[in-house]
């Protein structure tokens, strides 16, 4: 096994690519970013300059030919995750794939299968597994602080994403539920110790952004687990005031809750405004909640450090393609449930679905998927 820092290449050069590059710099001991590939030459070069990344490519396939690069992170639109993962694995390199893992369940299967065959790791980038405040809540739960935990909720809400492709449900695989619900689904399942999932029920609407998208911008999802516990996943692209990311945990002997951003923030009032408060905040004037150490509080640097350590065999991988596949199945079930107004029992793995949201947009398809 190779030694020293894991050499990393990043695909993409915008929002999440910046977070990956910055995260590797915040915790620099295990890995270093040596290359970036993005089709927009200006963007890629600017990002390389900003982060001191020496090699720049416009075609990621060219980056895959670099023999010293061991791990590639994918921060491209969802529809591209599967092909990129397959190409990376075939080049013999480890993968870090952003959420959601992909768009279809067939893609998830193929991604996992190819990585297994090629002997490379498929790391699924769910940073909530590394968010310090949420990890603390899980540690307390695992120590028995709350007795038998029967309720876990994760909510993630803002007023909608920054890039156009998110708003095209076929490109993204869905709306707010696919984009943000993937975090909550993975979180509640992981928090409860990865129990079997019995059923999924969801209500979805397009409340505010009907002029911009056919996707859901407001979703509520209830997940019923084999052990009787309930997971609640609440998502919105129709919530003003910047990013909201919260959890609630209830058990027979206690409870806890956390507000990822505001709990770490400085309650601030400013007539004049200032440079930056928090992700997706539209303004810094009036009352705001500016965060500090934003990426660290999210867990991104810890996540990337873990993936690099997993590549070196120093830690067992805790967030792999299998997590992403569970999420994908719940996304399918949630969209089908919202279409039909009924609980969907798992396993639910209909074949030939081109995107999870098509099950919501086409109730006949959802019925057929249920074998009706």
Nearest to 95 by CA among 75, 120, 113, 77: 120
Cis peptide preceding 347, ω within 30 of 0: yes
According to DSSP, residue 52 is labeled T
2-21 residues in contact with ligand NAD (CB under 6 A) are 11-17
Q: Considering beta carbons, is residue 35 or 365 the nearer one to ligand NAD?
A: 35
Residue of the chain from 52, 92, 163, 227 that contacts ligand NAD (CB under 6 A): 163
Does 218 participate in binding ligand NAD (rule CB under 6 A)?
no
Q: Considering beta carbons, is residue 165 or 201 the nearer one to ligand NAD?
A: 165
Q: Considering beta carbons, is residue 97 or 229 the nearer one to ligand NAD?
A: 97
CB 13 within 8 A of CB 76: no
Q: Considering beta carbons, is residue 40 or 342 the nearer one to ligand NAD?
A: 40
Run of H or E residues at 366: helix 363-369
Strand partners, 71: 8, 94
Does 78 participate in binding ligand NAD (rule CB under 6 A)?
yes
Cα gap 233→214, rounded to integer Å: 21
Residue of the chain from 39, 241, 263, 350 that contacts ligand NAD (CB under 6 A): 39
Residue span binding ligand NAD (CB under 6 A) among the ranges 77-85, 238-246, 266-274, 306-314: 77-85
Quote the tokens at residue 193: 């110790």
Does 297 participate in binding ligand NAD (rule CB under 6 A)?
no
Express the helix, strand and coil content of the chain in percent, nearest 5 each.
40, 25, 40
Torsion over CA: 185, 186, 192, 194 (sign): positive
Residue of the chain from 93, 99, 220, 244 that contacts ligand NAD (CB under 6 A): 99
Cα gap 69→151, rounded to integer Å: 43
47-66 residues in contact with ligand NAD (CB under 6 A) are 60
Q: Considering beta carbons, is residue 225 or 335 the nearer one to ligand NAD?
A: 335
Please give the residue ranges that form the binding site for ligand NAD (CB under 6 A): 11-17, 37-40, 43, 60, 75-78, 80, 98-99, 125, 127, 163
């Amino acid at each position: 096994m190779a030694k020293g820092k894991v050499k990393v290449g990043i695909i993409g050069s915008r929002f999440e690519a910046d977070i990956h590059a910055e995260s590797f710099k915040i915790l620099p001991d295990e890995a270093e970013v040596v290359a970036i590939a993005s089709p927009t030459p200006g963007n890629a070069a600017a990002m390389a300059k900003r982060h001191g990344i020496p090699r720049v490519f416009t075609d990621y396939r060219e980056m895959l030919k670099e023999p010293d690069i061991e791990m590639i992170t994918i921060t491209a639109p969802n529809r591209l995750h599967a092909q990129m993962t397959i190409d990376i694995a075939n080049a013999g390199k480890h993968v870090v794939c952003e959420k959601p893992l992909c768009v279809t369940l067939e893609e998830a299967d193929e991604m996992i299968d190819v990585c297994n065959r090629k002997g490379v790791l498929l790391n699924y980038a769910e940073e909530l597994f590394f968010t310090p405040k949420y990890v603390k809540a899980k540690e307390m739960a695992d120590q028995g602080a709350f007795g038998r935990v029967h309720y876990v909720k994760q909510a993630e809400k803002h007023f909608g994403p920054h890039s156009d492709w998110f708003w095209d449900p076929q490109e993204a695989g869905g709306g707010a539920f696919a984009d943000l619900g993937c975090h909550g689904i993975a979180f509640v399942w992981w928090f409860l110790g990865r129990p079997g999932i019995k059923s999924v029920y969801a209500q979805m609407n397009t409340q505010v952004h009907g002029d911009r998208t056919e996707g859901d911008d407001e979703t509520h999802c209830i997940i019923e687990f084999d052990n009787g516990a309930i997971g609640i996943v609440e998502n919105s692209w129709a919530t003003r005031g910047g990013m909201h990311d919260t959890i609630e945990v209830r058990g027979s002997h206690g409870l806890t809750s956390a507000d990822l951003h505001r709990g770490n923030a400085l309650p601030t009032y400013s007539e004049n405004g200032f440079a930056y408060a928090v992700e997706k905040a539209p303004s810094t004037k009036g009352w705001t909640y500016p965060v500090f150490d934003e990426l660290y509080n999210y867990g991104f640097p810890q996540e990337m450090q873990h993936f690099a350590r997993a590549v070196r065999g120093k830690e067992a991988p805790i967030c792999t393609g299998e997590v992403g596949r569970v999420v994908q199945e719940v996304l399918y079930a949630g969209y089908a449930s919202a279409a039909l107004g009924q609980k969907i029992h798992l396993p639910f793995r209909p074949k030939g679905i081109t995107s999870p949201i098509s099950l919501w947009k086409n109730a006949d398809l959802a019925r057929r998927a249920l074998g009706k």
